[in-house]
C-alpha cells in the first residue's frame, strides 16, 4: 500500500513538473511604438526573456527614427557616428534589400512619413509641394525593417539559452522559435483587415518569421478616403496597389519584414513575379476585393484561396 501511495506521489510530482514546463514565461513590452507579447518555454525562460527585453530596448534606442538621441537620428543629421560591425552590416543588408526590390522597399522615406504626419498624433494629407520636397530628401527610417530584424536577433539569442520554444509577437510581426512538443505546427492568424475573426490560419514549423504589412495597421481617413502608412516612393502617396495586406514567411526576420512592405507596394501581379524569381520566402496576399492568394509553399487553412504556383 505504501509503495502504491509513493507511486501516486511520484506520478503527481511528474505531472506537476510537466504542467509547469508546459507553461510559458510571458511578458508584455511596449517598444518600437507597439505592444509586444513575448512567450518563452523552458528552463531558462525567465532569464532569457529578460535578455530579449533588453535587446529590444537597445535596438529601439539605436534605430528609432523619431528619438533625436538615437544613432539613426545622428546619422540623419549628417553626423558620422562610429558604427559597430553589426550596425554597419545591418544598414548594408537593408540597402541590399532595397535594391533587390527595386526600391519598393525604400528605407530613406523618413521625411515623407513626417510630411504625412505618421510620426505624430494627427496625420494629414500634405500638399503636392510638401510631397515633392520630402521625396527630395534621403533620411533613414527603418520602420519597415526593424521589428523583423529584432525578431531574428531574439531568436538568435534564444539559441544561446536552455529554452525549448518561444512565440514572440512584435506588433504585426511574429517570430517563432523551436518546435512544439507534439510536433504540431505553430498557427498564426491572418488578420481580417476590417477587423473581427481571422481570415485564415497560417501554419509554420520550427523557427521562422511571419511578418504582415497591412493598410489597417496605421491610417487615417479624410472625406471617406483611407490614407495608410505604407508609402510608394514613386508617387509619394500611400501605395495604392490593390492589396490590403501581405504576409511573408521566411527563415530570416529582416528579409521577411522588408519584403512584406515591398510586396505590398508592388501589388499582386508584380509581387507574384518577384516570388517566382526568389527561393527564400512564401507569401499570403489579401486584396482590396477580399480575395486571398497564397504562394504554393504557404500552408494556409480555414479559408478558400487561390494558389500562386511557380
Ligand atoms: P511595415 O509595417 O513593415 O510595412 O512598415 C511600414 C513603416 O515603414 C511605415 O510606418 C514607415 O515608417 C516606413 N515605410 C513606409 N513606406 C515604406 C516603404 N515603401 N519602404 C520602406 N519603409 C517604408
Ligand atoms: Mg515591413
Tell me the pLDDT tens digit for each residue of 127-140.
999 999 999 999 99
- CA-nearest of 189, 209, 195 to 256 is 209
Strand ranges for the chain from DSSP E: 25-31, 34-41, 165-170, 173-177, 186-190, 200-204, 208-214, 219-222, 225-228, 243-250, 281-287, 292-295, 299-301, 306-308
pLDDT at 21: 56
Q: pLDDT tens, 161-184?
A: 999 999 999 998 999 999 998 999
H-assigned helices in 22-127? 45-63, 71-76, 85-100, 110-115
Q: Is the CB of 258 under 6 A from ligand 1?
A: no
Identify the band that residue 115 occupies on the pLDDT scale cut at 50, 70 and 90: very high
Q: Is the CB of 107 under 6 A from ligand 1?
A: yes
Question: How many angstroms separate the alpha carbon of residue 111 from the centre of ligand 1?
Answer: 12
Residue 193 has pLDDT above 90, yes or no: yes
| Cα 158 to Cα 140, 154, 163, 256, distances in angstroms | 29, 6, 7, 19
User: Residue 66 gets which letter from DSSP?
Assistant: S
Q: Considering the chain, what is the average pLDDT of its residues?
A: 93
Residue 66 has pLDDT above 70, yes or no: yes
Q: Which ligand is nearest the CA of 218, by number?
A: 1
pLDDT at 172: 82
Question: How many angstroms separate the alpha carbon of residue 199 from the centre of ligand 1?
Answer: 23
Instruction: Map grid coordinates 508609402 to a residue.
Output: 231
Q: Is the CB of 131 under 6 A from ligand 1?
A: no
pLDDT at 1: 41
Question: Which class is 2-76+83-241 in CATH?
Answer: alpha beta
> pTM for the full model?
0.93
Q: Across residues 80-94, what is the average pLDDT?
A: 98
Residue minimizing CA distance to atom 23 of ligand 1:
144
pLDDT at 20: 52
Asked whether the beta carbons of 112 and 227 are under 8 A apart, the reply is no
Question: How many angstroms separate the alpha carbon of residue 174 from the centre of ligand 2?
Answer: 12
Q: Across residues 71-80, what is the average pLDDT?
A: 97
Instruction: Map grid coordinates 540597402 to a residue.
Output: 95
Name the helix (H) or strand (E) containing 276: helix 268-276
Question: How many angstroms separate the alpha carbon of residue 107 from the centre of ligand 1?
Answer: 8
How far is it, in rounded angstroms, from Cα 208 to Cα 140? Answer: 27
Instruction: Map grid coordinates 534621403 to a residue.
Output: 138
How far is it, in rounded angstroms, from Cα 18 to Cα 15? Answer: 5
pLDDT at 22: 82
Q: Is the CB of 24 under 6 A from ligand 1?
A: no
Question: How many angstroms separate the alpha carbon of residue 110 from the centre of ligand 1?
Answer: 9
Identify the band that residue 5 occupies on the pLDDT scale cut at 50, 70 and 90: very low
Amino acid at each position: 500500500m505504501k509503495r502504491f501511495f509513493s507511486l501516486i506521489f511520484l506520478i503527481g510530482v511528474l505531472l506537476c513538473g510537466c504542467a509547469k514546463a508546459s507553461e510559458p514565461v510571458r511578458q508584455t513590452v511596449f517598444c518600437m511604438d507597439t505592444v509586444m507579447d513575448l512567450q518563452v518555454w523552458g528552463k531558462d525562460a525567465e532569464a532569457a526573456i529578460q535578455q530579449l527585453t533588453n535587446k529590444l530596448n537597445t535596438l529601439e534606442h539605436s534605430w528609432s527614427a523619431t528619438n533625436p538621441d538615437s544613432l539613426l537620428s545622428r546619422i540623419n543629421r549628417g553626423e558620422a557616428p562610429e558604427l559597430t560591425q553589426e550596425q554597419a552590416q545591418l544598414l548594408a543588408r537593408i540597402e541590399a534589400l532595397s535594391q533587390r526590390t527595386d526600391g519598393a522597399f525604400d528605407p530613406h522615406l523618413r521625411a515623407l512619413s513626417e510630411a504625412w504626419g505618421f510620426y505624430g498624433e494627427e496625420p494629414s494629407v500634405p500638399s503636392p509641394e510638401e510631397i515633392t520636397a520630402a521625396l527630395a530628401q534621403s533620411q533613414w527610417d527603418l520602420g519597415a525593417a526593424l521589428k523583423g530584424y529584432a525578431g531574428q536577433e531574439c531568436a538568435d539569442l534564444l539559441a544561446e539559452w536552455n529554452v525549448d520554444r518561444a512565440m514572440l509577437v512584435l506588433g504585426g510581426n511574429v517570430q517563432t522559435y523551436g518546435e512544439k512538443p507534439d510536433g504540431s505546427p505553430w498557427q498564426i492568424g491572418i488578420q481580417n483587415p476590417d477587423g473581427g475573426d481571422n481570415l485564415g490560419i497560417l501554419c509554420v514549423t520550427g523557427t521562422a518569421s511571419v511578418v504582415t504589412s497591412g493598410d489597417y495597421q496605421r491610417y487615417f481617413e479624410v472625406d471617406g478616403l483611407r490614407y495608410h502608412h505604407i508609402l510608394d516612393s514613386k508617387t509619394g502617396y500611400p501605395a495604392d496597389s490593390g492589396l490590403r495586406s501581405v504576409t511573408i514567411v521566411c527563415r530570416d526576420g529582416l528579409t521577411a519584414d522588408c519584403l512584406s512592405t515591398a510586396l505590398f507596394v508592388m501589388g499582386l501581379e508584380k509581387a507574384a513575379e518577384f516570388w517566382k524569381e526568389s527561393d527564400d520566402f512564401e507569401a499570403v496576399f489579401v486584396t482590396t476585393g477580399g480575395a486571398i492568394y497564397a504562394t504554393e509553399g504557404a500552408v494556409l487553412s480555414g479559408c478558400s484561396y487561390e494558389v500562386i504556383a511557380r
